[in-house]
Structure 1
Amino acid sequence: MTTTPNPELEGQPQDPTADPSTPPPTPAPSSAQGSTPPPPPPAQSQPANPGPGHVHTPPAESYAQPRQGYAQPGHQQPAYPQPGQGYPAQATAYGQQVLEPAQQRQWGMLAHVIPLIAMVLSAGLLGFVGSLVIYVMYKDRGDFVRQHAANSLNIQIMTGIVLLISFPLMLLLVGFATYFIALAIAFVLHIIGALRANEGQQWSPPLTPRFVS
């Protein structure tokens, strides 16, 4: 019987008393080399395209960081007006600001010119409206403009009274004369008042009661 030599045992001394059919003992690992720990398991990464049933779990560090937009300790919130405070009101209401002398002369003149134009265009029917609007808007903006606006309104009130009386008198043909005479007198008084206001002079219209002041 021919025995095949074992290549692993070549170069080692052979024991003549050993049974060739018995396998050689396995050498023990040397303590000098040491044992190598097993490598850690690879980190599980999220799939690129998770399926419908996949639930994404964010890392634990994201919960420790405060979210932007929420109040944090030491964070100063922007100052907004509290309920009932509002923003600072601007003085734009009528009667709170006194006009300059030049502006008072200008509006004193317009207090006569505007109702004069309205009276001519409407045959005396809308002159009262123009004088009333200017008086309400500018009666508290200065003494000068208040006086001329009141004079203009007084002229229109007196003219309106004469026009109302003229309507029934038109049946006697007398009302046509009183109607145009009242418009002519109001026309002249408004022109005089506009000139006086433009020159900065106080003026009271003649033949006109002081209904308003």
Structure 2
Amino acid sequence: MTDPNAPQPADPNQQPNTHGQPSQTPPQQPEYGQQPQPPQYGQPQQPQYGQQQPPQYGQQPPQQGQQPYGQQPPQYGQQPPHQGQQPYGQPQYAQAPGAQPLTPQDDKMWAMWSHFGGVLAILPSLIIYLVFKDRGPFVRQEAKEALNWQITFLIVSIAWGIIIGILSGIVVTSMIAGGSFAAIGGISALFSLLSWLPYILNLIFSIIGGVKVKGGQPYRYPVNFRFIK
């Protein structure tokens, strides 16, 4: 019989404990078909394939949609800038082009038509002056001269028509009172021709001005009130 209090013989397969530290056995791998055992307290858990490693102590996990360093997130009510959009405060270089200057040939051509258009009264000269005054120096000068002449012609025509009407009325009334009925027709025809005198002068001066400007020379009307400087 053996004494139960007697010391047991040492196992030859057991490694001796050095430096007084308890021996640690390596973790056993789970057999096929068994669930893996959870790690012991204090041991790091190895991430499985396809899983993200959890952040270390003191690190903040990255948030989805987090702005890079140095960029401020858009405030409430503001839309984020699109790709390719210019930031605020930079000048916009794609501006609408203005009216192109006229070539010397076109400059002279429209200056000529500003005088020839006076045959049809004030409207052609006014349109040419407003459209081309900033596109050529010659057309601006000649269209302004022609427009001033047309304004002068309009004022003179109205005044002349009033004067002719008054004179014709006085003469015809006097002839009726004197009994000279035979001469009334001739006097009426004379006053009718005189009423066309401003239109005839306008026709002559407008043609002369157009011909002069066509040859490259500026033209000045003999009598012209230059309202437009």
TM range (shorter): 0.5 to 0.7
- Paired residues of 1:111 and 1:149 also in contact (CA < 8 A): yes
TM-score (structure 2 length as normaliser): 0.49
1:139 and 2:139 are equivalent in the alignment: no
Quote the RMSD (CA, aligned, Å): 3.9
- Which of 81, 89, 92 is the aligned partner of 1:86? 92
CA distance in 2: counterparts of 1:66 and 1:86, whole angstroms? 35
CA contact (8 A) 1:110 1:194 kept: yes
Q: Paired residue for 1:189?
A: 205
Q: Provide the rounded CA distance (Å) in 1 between the counterparts of 2:162 and 2:155.
A: 12
Judge conservation of contact 2:102–2:136 (CA < 8 Å) in 1.
Answer: yes
1:172 corresponds to which letter in structure 2? L
Unpaired stretches in structure 1, ≥5 consecutive residues: 1-34, 41-58, 120-126
CA offsets, 1:20-68, max 9 Å, x none? xxxxxxxxxxxxxxx953266xxxxxxxxxxxxxxxxxx988xx8967x
SS of the residue corresponding to residue 103 of structure 1 reads helix
Please say if residues 118 and 203 of structure 2, whose CA atoms lie closer than 8 Å, have aligned partners that are also in contact. Answer: no
Change (3 A) 1:65 1:152: same
Instruction: Give the corresponding residue for 1:153.
Output: 147
Distance 1:185 1:81, change over 3 A: farther
Q: 1:208 to 1:175 in 2, by over 3 A?
A: farther
Q: Distance in 1 between matches of 2:143 and 2:88?
A: 43
Q: Structure 1 residues 203 and 66, CA, compared in 2 at 3 Å: closer, same or farther?
A: same
Count of paired positions: 147
Measure, in 2, the Cα distance between the counterparts of 1:175 and 1:150. Answer: 33
Identity of aligned pairs, percent?
Answer: 28
Describe how 1:170-189 pairs up with structure 2 within 5 A: 170-173=165-168, 176-189=192-205
Match of 2:223 in 1: 207
Contact 1:128–1:156 (Cα < 8 Å) also in 2: yes
Q: Secondary structure in 1 aligned to 2:212? A: helix
Which residue of 157, 168, 178 corresponds with 2:162?
Answer: 168
Q: List gaps (5 residues or longer) in structure 2.
A: 1-29, 36-49, 53-61, 72-81, 169-189
